[in-house]
């Protein structure tokens, strides 16, 4: 057996793994002993990497649909040559007819941990001449980065290993960030860390510390009341505020009435608990707010909630200080972007997202993507290529996504597996998985540990069947349509070497250091040297630029537009509150649901319902029920539990037979960031007919409405 040390590309954590190969086949996966990140451990997903890799659901060769589009046609096998030729011809024809902007490319969250994927997807679109590249930056995590850039002029991140107090705020790392979950458990066991959990669901870690259970979407109010306590009890960092914060006077006035009692009425959390957390946070020097990656940003007040967290960090002097939020040294990979002059979608409608500090991001607002394809405004987008994503299950508002695909003339999905999105595409192209190619591993931007590191992600086995590395698929398609000059690379190694070429480390060095390399020491109190890269050169508690671009310069509580407080009429019909997408360790998005080992642990989805809510609808634990919004209905079993707030219905995403994205509405958005709201929508439960209600639920059929 040969052992190959690499990193796990199944999710953003990039844990160190040892892969064992026998006769060219992956046979076993273990955590790399003593690895700095995951300490020799791996999560449930990686434990089933062998099964997942050799799954019957792998795409084996390119296919095209004949006899109709979307659900109507049938797939036939074609060669790679035929696929490139036909797709290339169609792309050129569409460009001729509608202009280059008729192409939209989209990559999923895998493009975050698989650098070549997002880089080549983007390069292809732009080389083609289209500004329409979309990715999870437009629905997932960019809001929190942007908010921190607005406040601090840069992106400081948490250092959970260094903190004496952690506030897990809308974040359940034991599900979504396995290595951080390990760290917290270890620290708790050693008595080295205190914990506060602020979450609508009572997650397992909530039993280990002080637990606050807010009404969904009210976290900004809690944060404002914490500011009130910290300021009016004189617990703030005077020196830092005076020297380094802009707009403190305005903030003092702004939070004057935002007492813990005020926030208690909005959030349902006891005022005494709010002030207690505020005091704990302010008085603990090394304390970090560790929030969900996207979770609270995916509410309608997402960007402002993030700004409120930034302000808490700033007024307690916890930025650029050990155990707080610190600025990470950055590793720069080579930039493969090709400039285009045309504006991306959302540029004018969402100026803060697209124009702050005159910086234009190289991706469009994802919420505008389906809308533009459906309405053909500002122009027809007729070609859609998805790679490393399963938008039929993952994109919020499935109905609109499918309407959009109906209005295209070319719809392609590039993926290692026959996903629900592949099933509807005109062409499917088989990509290999991360263990079948050499590429960039580790995480150069530090994620939640502030430890930027890179390594060589090594090819463990040869690509299965006719699958190919994603970079080569984009490159060969590029060569097909005369864009060869943009794609000069011939091998995985050449691509990786090019990407590493700006990092300060060479490909050869990484070959010699199979465990990867870390970069740069975190510099504390760096502001003393360089200040903050904002207009005022200080931390902008109040942001004049935000106000100039049409949003309040200080964050405020805002009800989700479908909450029962904001819209009592809607609540009369849909009185409950929908939460979607809380992670569980066994699955990533819609991936790996076909893996038997994982299904043995978590066979089907359950929606969490409080007993009081369940009683209202006469629904029993384990009973199949309907969950309905104005957008549609899905069926899922109820898990009746006191671990969730009454009235909140927590529904996992990524399940084909019960696709929760059918229930979301792409028009309900954060007006600042353009993010489609994934939580806080109005919903109701439906008691199903005991016989007929059960008949029509099939776990593996996509729910298409």
Ligand X SMILES: Nc1nc2c(c(=O)[nH]1)N[C@H]1C(S)=C(S)[C@@H](COP(=O)(O)OP(=O)(O)OC[C@H]3O[C@@H](n4cnc5c(=O)[nH]c(N)nc54)[C@H](O)[C@@H]3O)O[C@H]1N2
DSSP strands (E only) in 218-321? 245-246, 287-291
Residue 15 binds which entry of ligand X, Mo ion, ligand SF4, none, CB below 5-8 Å type-dependent:
ligand SF4
Closest to ligand SF4 by CB, 11 vs 196, is 11
Q: Does 178 bind ligand SF4 (CB under 6 A)?
A: yes
Residue 548 to residue 543: CA distance in whole angstroms: 9
Closest to ligand SF4 by CB, 240 vs 443, is 443
Residue-wise burial string across 635-651, b where 16 or more C-beta atoms lie within 10 A, e elsewhere: bbbbbbbebbbbbbbbb
Cβ within 8 Å of residue 634, ≥6 positions away: 626, 627, 651, 658, 659, 660, 662, 663, 703
Beta bridge partners of 166: 195, 288
Closest to ligand X by CB, 11 vs 311, is 11
Q: Does 110 bind ligand X (CB under 6 A)?
A: yes
| 98 to 105, 106, 130, 199: CA distances (angstroms) | 16, 19, 11, 48
CB atoms within 10 A of CB 512: 10
- Selected from 158, 415, 559, 561, the binder of ligand X by CB under 6 A is 415
Residue 414 binds which entry of Mo ion, ligand X, ligand SF4, none, CB below 5-8 Å type-dependent:
ligand X
- Selected from 196, 373, 579, 640, the binder of ligand X by CB under 6 A is 579
E strand or H helix at 367: helix 366-375
Q: Does 390 bind ligand X (CB under 6 A)?
A: yes
Secondary-structure percent of the chain, ordered helix, strand, coil, rounded to 5: 35, 20, 45
- Residues in the interface with ligand X (CB under 6 A) total 65
Residue 18 to residue 8: CA distance in whole angstroms: 9
- Selected from 6, 11, 269, 682, the binder of ligand SF4 by CB under 6 A is 11
- Selected from 416, 452, 605, 646, the binder of ligand X by CB under 6 A is 416
E strand or H helix at 651: strand 648-651
Residue 654 binds which entry of Mo ion, ligand X, ligand SF4, none, CB below 5-8 Å type-dependent:
ligand X
Closest to ligand X by CB, 104 vs 296, is 296
Closest to ligand SF4 by CB, 11 vs 410, is 11
Residue 516 binds which entry of Mo ion, ligand SF4, ligand X, none, CB below 5-8 Å type-dependent:
none
The least distance separating ligand SF4 from the CB of residue 177, rounded to whole angstroms, comes to 7
Contact 428, 422 (CB under 8 A): yes
Closest to Mo ion by CB, 140 vs 203, is 140
Token pair belonging to 329 = 């040294």
Q: Does 391 bind ligand X (CB under 6 A)?
A: yes
Closest to ligand SF4 by CB, 438 vs 591, is 591
Residue 42 binds which entry of Mo ion, ligand X, ligand SF4, none, CB below 5-8 Å type-dependent:
ligand SF4
Residue 448 binds which entry of ligand X, Mo ion, ligand SF4, none, CB below 5-8 Å type-dependent:
none
Closest to ligand SF4 by CB, 179 vs 646, is 179
Q: Does 105 bind ligand X (CB under 6 A)?
A: no
Closest to ligand SF4 by CB, 319 vs 455, is 455
Q: Does 15 bind ligand X (CB under 6 A)?
A: no
Rule CB under 6 A: which of 641-660 touch ligand X? 653-654, 660
Closest to ligand X by CB, 414 vs 666, is 414
For every residue of 571-601, DSSP letters joined together read HHH--EEEEE----TT-BTTBTTT-HHHHHH
What secondary structure letter does DSSP report for 656?
G
Q: Are strands 2-7 and 157-158 parallel, antiparallel or unpaired?
A: unpaired
Beta bridge partners of 319: 325
Closest to ligand SF4 by CB, 98 vs 445, is 445
Residue 582 binds which entry of ligand SF4, Mo ion, ligand X, none, CB below 5-8 Å type-dependent:
ligand X
Rule CB under 5 A: which of 287-326 touch Mo ion? 294
Tell me the HSE value of 613 on the side-chain side, using a 13 A CA sphere. 28
For residue 488, count CB atoms less than 10 angstroms from its CB and return exposed for 0-12, middle for 13-18, buried for 19 or more: exposed
Stretch 55-94: interaction string toward Mo ion, x if CB under 5 A: ----------------------------------------
Contact 562, 570 (CB under 8 A): yes
Q: Does 10 bind ligand SF4 (CB under 6 A)?
A: yes
Q: At residue 355, what are phi and psi to the nearest 5 degrees?
A: -130, 0
Q: Are strands 74-77 and 679-687 parallel, antiparallel or unpaired?
A: unpaired
Q: At residue 640, what are phi and psi to the nearest 5 degrees?
A: -85, 120
Q: Does 13 bind ligand SF4 (CB under 6 A)?
A: yes
- Residues in the interface with ligand SF4 (CB under 6 A) total 12
| 426 to 125, 371, 542: CA distances (angstroms) | 19, 21, 49
- Selected from 19, 26, 32, 46, the binder of ligand SF4 by CB under 6 A is 46
- Selected from 144, 161, 254, 295, the binder of ligand X by CB under 6 A is 295
Q: Does 454 bind ligand SF4 (CB under 6 A)?
A: no
The least distance separating ligand SF4 from the CB of residue 42, rounded to whole angstroms, comes to 4
Closest to ligand SF4 by CB, 32 vs 143, is 32
Q: Are strands 648-651 and 576-580 parallel, antiparallel or unpaired?
A: parallel
Position of minimal CB gap to ligand X: 581
E strand or H helix at 548: helix 544-548
Residue 38 to residue 182: CA distance in whole angstroms: 8
Closest to ligand X by CB, 198 vs 666, is 198
What secondary structure letter does DSSP report for 645?
-
Closest CA to 686 of 608, 563, 577, 574: 574
Q: Does 175 bind ligand X (CB under 6 A)?
A: yes
- Selected from 6, 26, 39, 45, the binder of ligand SF4 by CB under 6 A is 45
Residue 471 binds which entry of Mo ion, ligand X, ligand SF4, none, CB below 5-8 Å type-dependent:
none
Binding residues for ligand SF4, rule: CB under 6 A, are 8, 10-11, 13-15, 38, 42-43, 45-46, 178
Binding residues for Mo ion, rule: CB under 5 A, are 109, 140, 294
């Amino acid at each position: 057996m040969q052992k190959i040390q690499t990193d796990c590309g199944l999710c953003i954590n990039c844990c160190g793994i040892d892969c064992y190969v026998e006769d060219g086949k992956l046979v076993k996966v273990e955590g790399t002993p003593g690895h700095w990140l995951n300490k020799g451990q791996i999560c449930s997903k990686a434990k089933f990497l062998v099964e997942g890799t050799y799954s019957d659901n792998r795409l084996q060769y390119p296919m095209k649909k004949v006899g109709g589009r979307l659900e109507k046609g049938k797939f036939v096998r074609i060669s790679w040559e035929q696929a490139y030729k036909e797709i290339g011809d169609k792309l050129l024809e569409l460009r001729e007819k509608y202009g280059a902007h008729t192409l939209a490319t989209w990559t999923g969250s895998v493009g975050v941990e698989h650098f070549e994927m997002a880089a080549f997807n983007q390069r292809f679109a732009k080389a083609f001449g289209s500004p329409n590249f979309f990715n999870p930056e437009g629905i997932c995590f960019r809001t929190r980065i942007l908010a921190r850039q607005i406040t601090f002029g840069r992106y400081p991140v948490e250092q959970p290993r260094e903190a004496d107090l952690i506030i897990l705020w809308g974040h359940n790392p034991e599900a979504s960030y396995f290595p951080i979950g390990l760290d917290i458990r270890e620290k708790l066991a050693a008595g080295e860390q205190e914990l506060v959990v602020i979450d609508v669901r009572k997650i397992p870690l909530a039993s280990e510390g002080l637990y606050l259970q807010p009404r969904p979407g009210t976290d900004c109010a809690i944060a404002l009341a914490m500011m009130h306590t910290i300021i009016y009890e004189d617990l703030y960092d005077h020196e830092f505020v005076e020297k380094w914060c802009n707009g403190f006077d305005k903030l003092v006035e702004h939070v004057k009435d935002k007492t813990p009692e005020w926030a208690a009425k909005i959030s349902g959390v006891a005022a005494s608990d709010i002030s207690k957390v505020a005091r704990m946070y302010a008085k603990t020097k090394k304390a970090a707010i560790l929030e969900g990656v996207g979770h609270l940003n995916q509410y309608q007040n997402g960007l402002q909630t993030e700004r409120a967290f930034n302000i808490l960090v700033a007024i307690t002097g916890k930025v650029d200080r050990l155990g707080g939020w610190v600025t990470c040294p950055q590793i720069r990979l080579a930039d493969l972007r090709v400039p285009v002059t045309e504006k991306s979608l959302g540029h004018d409608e969402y100026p803060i997202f697209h124009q702050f500090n005159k910086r234009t991001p190289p991706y469009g607002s994802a919420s505008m993507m389906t809308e533009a394809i459906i309405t053909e405004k500002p122009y027809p987008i007729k070609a859609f290529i998805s790679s490393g994503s399963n938008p039929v299950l993952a994109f919020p508002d499935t109905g609109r996504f499918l309407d959009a695909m109906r209005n295209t003339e070319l719809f392609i999905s590039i993926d290692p597996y026959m996903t629900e999105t592949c099933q509807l595409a005109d062409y499917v192209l088989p990509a290999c998985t991360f263990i079948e190619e050499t590429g960039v591993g580790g995480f150069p931007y530090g994620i939640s540990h502030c430890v930027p590191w890179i390594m060589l992600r090594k090819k463990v086995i040869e690509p299965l069947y006719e699958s190919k590395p994603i970079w080569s698929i984009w490159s060969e398609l590029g060569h097909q349509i005369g864009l060869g000059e943009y794609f000069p690379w011939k091998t995985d190694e050449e691509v990786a070497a090019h990407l590493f070429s700006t990092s300060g480390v060479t490909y050869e060095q990484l070959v010699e250091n199979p465990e990867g390399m870390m970069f740069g020491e975190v510099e504390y109190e760096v502001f003393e040297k360089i200040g903050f890269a904002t207009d005022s050169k200080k931390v902008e508690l109040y942001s004049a630029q935000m106000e100039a671009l049409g949003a309040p310069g200080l964050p405020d509580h805002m009800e989700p537009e479908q909450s029962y407080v904001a819209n009592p009429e809607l609540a009369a019909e849909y009185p409950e509150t929908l939460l979607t997408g809380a992670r569980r360790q066994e699955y990533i998005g819609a991936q790996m649901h076909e893996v038997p080992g994982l299904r043995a642990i978590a066979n089907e989805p359950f929606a969490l319902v409080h007993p009081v809510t369940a009683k209202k609808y006469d629904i029993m634990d384990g009973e199949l029920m309907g969950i309905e919004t104005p957008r549609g209905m899905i069926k899922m079993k109820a898990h009746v539990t006191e671990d969730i707030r009454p009235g909140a219905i927590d529904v996992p995403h990524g399940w084909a037979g019960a696709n929760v994205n059918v229930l979301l509405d792409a028009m309900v958005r954060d007006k600042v960031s353009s993010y489609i709201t994934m939580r806080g929508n109005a919903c109701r439960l439906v008691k199903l007919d005991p016989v007929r209600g059960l008949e029509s639920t099939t776990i593996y059929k996509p729910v298409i409405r």
